[in-house]
Amino acid sequence: MDRSKLIKPESAGRDVLLVFEQGDPARPIIIGLMEDPLEHLVTMEVSPRLSPPPLTGGGKGEGEAFTESHPPKEALIDGKRITIEAREEIILKCGDGSITIRKDGKIIIKGTHLLSRSSGPIRVKGARVDIN
């Protein structure tokens, strides 16, 4: 690995891949910088419209879907909204908290404490609402 990558300001705080000389934890060797999966989203080209390849006939929004050979490669970022799409699930994770969105419509929010604030009414809608 080129040492110049390690001393760049943008590398500060990045995770590194280590091996240890003769298995000794007191003798680490840096092999490289770990990839940050969110860095790609932050640095990708801004697109005015997220457009999947057409499945049939090239309709405008109808009959279009992402395929294995044509996965989405752009995020819609227009200053008002950020849209991130995935075929199976999206997981946002930080420490002990996470939000998982699955393709079947199930959304799971986990955390040590959950807080919901509103200056207006809070409505909970569902076929059934269970508390405790």
pLDDT in tens, 81-90: 777 888 899 9
Q: What is the reported pLDDT for 112?
A: 92
Q: Record the pTM.
A: 0.42
pLDDT at 64 over 60: no
More confident residue, 118 or 39: 118
Torsion angle of C-alpha atoms 89, 32, 5, 94, degrees rounded to 10: 30
Question: Which residues, 6+ apart, have CB-to-CB distance to 29 below 8 Å?
Answer: 18, 19, 20, 21
Contact (CB, 8 A) for 111 and 96: yes
Question: Which residues, 6+ apart, have CB-to-CB distance to 99 below 8 Å?
Answer: 91, 92, 107, 108, 109, 110
Taking residues 87-102, report their average pLDDT: 92
